[in-house]
Amino acid sequence: MNKKELGREPTKTSIALKKIMKIRNMKQVDILNACEPYTTIYKVKISKSDLSQYLSSKTTPNQKKLHILSKALNVTPSYLLGLEDDYENKSKKNRIRDLRIKENMTLEDFSKIIEVDTKTIKEWESQNIDKLDKNTANKIAKIFNVTPAYLLGYNLYKAPFTVKIDVQPSTVDFVKDYEFLGDKLRKIVSNYIKTCVKAQEKMIKENKPIYPLSIPLHNDIFFDGKTIVSNNIEDYIILPNKLLENDAEYFAIIANDNSMIKRNISTGDVLIFKMTKKINSGEVGFFQYSKGCLCRVYIETNKGAILMPESSIEKPIFLNNDDFFTIGKLVYKFDNNF
């Protein structure tokens, strides 16, 4: 390891992953195994090298891999980005009692099989698993033919990693499966996905995967010329891959005024932008200049550009090419009355 690596500032993702590994007594291979069902479904690979680079702070996961890691470890994407302090997903709950009852197994029978007294089992089933060691958890998981992660509530998938998992075209399940979605936008996304049912069913018939991409909704944004810098992610929006480009990055904001009302953009609308440094004249984009960031129509000129509002209240902004950044191009809008 060279001096530069020794002095590298740890990323928030690295800190979060190491904390999870320490508390859950996990190794890198355990995380990779937990990711396997999701990488199979979404056809996005997370390699040993990828994980090593996240842990060593050499790089951070992109949106798709961040989504998979959050699902596999049952934490929110915000936690892995260092935006939340809560380690546990509040929905986490061990499933020992549910699995025992499903198998019509009494406490006494279960006690004999795993060679643990009924008092201790009752503690586990009351969500007190301080006395549940890793070997016993693995033993119980094997009895019920589930993964240890599923048994302890860290994972949504109960099937062993060798079992193929199919995705069904159910709109309701599609929304409910992504529990990290905040209440604030659940109604918006739920209503929007209802309009995508036919597209989803068509993709399944054509044997194409439905990849839900979580798009960060920013409260405010700063662009450093290369990437978005923001510690104010309010929520995440889910869109199916039918509507998105695989290699593109996206972000979302909420319109805070009616300056683009003639383009049917009103206060409170959710705007989805594709990150790009260049857009065509006449397109709606998101820009940064000396006074901040804003959504405007881009009009190209000989010396630079005009950032044009679509209302009679705001005035056009005339800028030279060196005086502003293009951050993204508007691709989708959700009305605030959804």
Which of 200, 279, 183 is closest to 239 using CA atoms?
200
pTM here is 0.41
On whether both 38 and 70 belong to a single domain, the answer is yes
CATH number at residue 15: 1.10.260.40
Please check the confidence at residue 9 and state whether its pLDDT lies above 70: yes
C-alpha torsion sign, points 263, 265, 270, 273: positive
Q: What is the pLDDT of residue 255?
A: 87
Note whether residue 138 is domain-resident: yes
190 Cβ contact partners less than 8 Å away, ≥ 6 residues apart: 171, 175
Does one domain contain both 220 and 324? Answer: yes
Identify whether 113 is part of a domain: yes
Residues 62, 156: Cα–Cα separation, whole Å: 22
In a domain? residue 277: yes
**Residues 64, 115 within the same domain:** no
Res. 99 pLDDT band, cuts 50 70 90: confident
Q: Report pLDDT for 40.
A: 76
How high is the mean pLDDT of the chain?
75
Confidence at residue 283, expressed as pLDDT on a 0 to 100 scale: 95
Cβ(193)–Cβ(171) below 8 Å: yes
Tell me the backbone φ, ψ of residue 129, rounded to 5 degrees.
Answer: -110, 25
Average the pLDDT over 143-170 and give the result.
54
Residues 323 and 285 in one domain: yes
Of 27, 56, 80, which residue constitutes the final position of a domain?
A: 80
Does some domain include residue 59? yes
Instruction: Compute φ and ψ for 96, nearest 5 degrees.
Output: -60, -50
Indicate whether 281 belongs to any domain: yes
Residue 298: strand pairing partners: 307
* 62 and 100 assigned to the same domain: no
Q: Phi-psi category of 299—alpha, beta or left, where left has phi over 0 and alpha has psi -120 to 50? A: beta
Residue 57 lies in domain: 3-80
Work out the average pLDDT over 73-87: 72
Identify the band that residue 4 occupies on the pLDDT scale cut at 50, 70 and 90.
Answer: very low
pLDDT at 25: 79
Residues 68, 102 within the same domain: no
User: Helix count (H) and strand count (E) of the chain?
Assistant: 14, 11
Give 200-243 pLDDT, tens digit per residue.
555 555 554 444 567 888 776 666 555 565 556 667 777 766 67
What's the pLDDT score for residue 329? 94
Residues 308 and 239 in one domain: yes
Residue 309's pLDDT band (cuts 50, 70, 90): very high
Contact 283, 296 (CB under 8 A): no
Domain end marker among 151, 170, 190: 151
What CATH number should be reported for the domain holding residue 120? 1.10.260
Asked if 105 and 20 sit in the same domain, the reply is no
Query: 168 in a domain, yes or no?
Result: no
- Can you tell me the mean pLDDT for 183-192? 58
For residues 205 and 183, give the distance between their C-alpha atoms in angstroms, rounded to a whole number: 32
Q: 155: closest CA among 254, 72, 241?
A: 72
Looking at the structure, tell me whether residues 74 and 144 fall in a common domain.
Answer: no
User: Same structural domain for residues 57 and 123?
Assistant: no
Let me know whether 72 and 102 are in one domain: no
Give me the pLDDT at residue 173, please. Answer: 43
Give 78's pLDDT tier (boundaries 50, 70, 90): confident
Please report the pLDDT score of residue 228 as a whole number.
Answer: 61
The separation between CA 35 and the C-alpha centre of its own chain, rounded to angstroms, equals 14
Identify the band that residue 130 occupies on the pLDDT scale cut at 50, 70 and 90: low
- What pairs with residue 326 in β-bridges? 287
The answer to whether 95 and 141 have CB atoms below 8 angstroms apart is: no
* CATH classification at residue 263: 2.10.109.10
pLDDT for 279 equals 92
Residue 26 located in a structural domain: yes
List C-alpha distances in Å: 9 to 14, 56, 57, 234: 10, 10, 7, 25
Kindly state the percentage of the chain with pLDDT values over 90. 17
List, in sequence order, every residue forming a beta bridge with 228; answer none if it has no partner.
Answer: 223
Is the pLDDT higher at 315 or at 169? Answer: 315
Query: For the chain, how many structural domains are there in total?
Result: 3
Q: Of 52, 80, 108, which residue sits at a domain end? A: 80
